[in-house]
Amino acid sequence: MKGLLLAVAGLTAALLSSASAADKLDPSCSGCHALVKPTDTSLDRLLTRKGPDLWFAGSKFKKEWLVSWLQDPKPIRPAGYPYFKTVKKGDKNDVPDPSKIAAHPKLKKADAEAAAETLMALKAPADLVPAGIFKGEMKGARMGSLAFVKFRGCVACHQGEKGEGGLSGPRLTDAGARLQADFIAAYTADPQRFDPHIWMPTSNLKDQDIQRLTAFLVQLSQGDK
Amino acid sequence: MKTQMLAAFVGLALLLAPSASQADQSSEQIYGVYCVQCHGLQRNGTGINVPALSVKPRDHTDAKGMGDTPDDELFKAIKEGGLAVNKSVLMPTWGHVLSENQIKGLVKYLRQVCKCGK
């Protein structure tokens, strides 16, 4: 019973601390991004969302990258977000519709640093992004590259090496500079644990695949060049 | 009075009974989120990811090709991915994201899109 009380108190404290951390951000951030884990997990929420959830930002991003990107925000999702609202019919295939893709606000250095600090405090629960889930074995990167492009088909939706790849998912050309390795591994294994209806499939990957793909992705740091 | 009663009754009936078109709309929405990225807004295999794909996605408006594919194969392809039906790995497994009922709804919706049945 005492343990249960402690657990409830701990959970409440964790929720309150992430809520108060989120309060420090400019209120306009929460207009597009969920800064606290949403209670509404319906498909309708996905359909009306304007930007990716950030309630686990502190376990997802690298702080240096956030500080730099917030001052010069280049699109991470080349087709807009959510892609299904920002594409139009093209001559040969659907194409991004720039008139529907809103630019992310640009922050001044001090504001970017403050926002990054606050975002880094928004941590995912330890069981969502377990520390050390990526074992750090970089030898698998080459096989990871083959899995990404060929065997697992990630390239269908994500741009990887040399910017080659599909557009409906975030570009991963700079995944290593932008994302924490443990996040890449945890998210790739089961995106719906983070975001119940997200349009990235869960591919029943074996841990070996996850390790190799993560090793490959953490090496990518070329940005959108 | 009688007319009002009737109107109220019809209104209530419409509210309570989820019509066929509502069910269709939901499958159409699901198609719009998950399938459009490759199969395209026009449902003919011309999605935004197509330039990056080594295998062209299935044209869902192709009455012949779709007509030759039975419902259970479409269901399996959506649930377990292209490899499960001897097709490309680029068609992912959606069984973890979509419920069996949603997949059944999609199969039904595909039949509307191709205007064909099997």
Is A207 contained in some domain? yes
Is A116 contained in some domain? yes
> Secondary structure of chain B in the HEC alphabet?
CHHHHHHHHHHHHHHHCCCHHHHHHHHHHHHHHHHHHHHCCCCCCCCCCHHHCCCCCCCCCCHHHHHCCCHHHHHHHHHHCHHHHCCCCCCCCCCCCCCHHHHHHHHHHHHHHHCCCC
**Nearest C-alpha neighbor of A66 from the set A122, A4, A6:** A122
**From CA B32, how far away is CA B47, in angstroms rounded?**
11
For A151, name the nearest residue in chain B, comparing CA atoms only.
Answer: B89
> Secondary structure of A35-72 in the HEC alphabet?
CCCCCCCCHHHHHHCCCCCCCCHHHHECHHHHHHHHHC
Query: Is residue A146 domain-shared with residue A76, that is, in the same domain?
Result: no
Nearest to B48 among A79, A203, A204 (CB): A79
Q: Is B57 left (phi over 0), alpha (psi -120 to 50) or beta?
A: beta
Is A71 contained in some domain? yes
Preferred mutation among B49, B83, B101 to probe A, highest tally of A CBs within 10 A: B49
Is A16 contained in some domain? no
Is A11 contained in some domain? no
Q: For residue A222, what pLDDT is reported?
A: 73
Q: For residue A168, what pLDDT is reported?
A: 97
Is A223 contained in some domain? no
Q: For residue A225, what pLDDT is reported?
A: 46
Mean pLDDT to the nearest integer, B85-111:
96
Supply the range of the domain harboring residue A183: 138-218
Is A100 contained in some domain? yes
Q: For residue B72, what pLDDT is reported?
A: 97
Q: For residue A5, what pLDDT is reported?
A: 57
Contact check, Cβ <8 Å, B37/A168: yes
Boundary (domain end) residue, out of A120, A146, A169: A120
Phi first, then psi, for residue A165 (nearest 5°) are 150, 180
Nearest to A201 among B30, B50, B93 (CB): B93
- Give the minimum alpha-carbon distance from B19 to chain A in angstroms, rounded to a whole number: 19
Is B18 contained in some domain? no
Query: Is residue A50 domain-shared with residue A110, that is, in the same domain?
Result: yes
Please list the ranges in chain A whose pLDDT falls under 50.
Answer: 225
Q: For residue A4, what pLDDT is reported?
A: 57
Is B4 contained in some domain? no
- Quote the ipTM score: 0.88
Residue A209 corresponds to which amino acid?
D
Query: Is residue A31 domain-shared with residue A77, that is, in the same domain?
Result: yes
Query: Is residue A163 domain-shared with residue A193, that is, in the same domain?
Result: yes
More confident residue, A162 or B110: B110
Q: pLDDT for A76-135, tens place per residue?
A: 999 999 999 999 999 999 999 999 999 999 999 999 999 999 999 999 999 999 999 999
Mean pLDDT to the nearest integer, B46-71:
96
Nearest to A93 among B30, B51, B93 (CB): B51
Q: pLDDT for B16-32, tens place per residue?
A: 444 444 445 599 999 99
Supply the range of the domain harboring residue B56: 23-114
What's the CATH code of the domain at B74?
1.10.760.10
> Structural domain tally of chain B?
1
Query: Is residue A112 domain-shared with residue A182, that is, in the same domain?
Result: no
Is B77 contained in some domain? yes
More confident residue, B111 or A24: B111
pLDDT interval class at B106 (50, 70, 90):
very high
Task: Note the maximum CA span of chain B.
Answer: 66
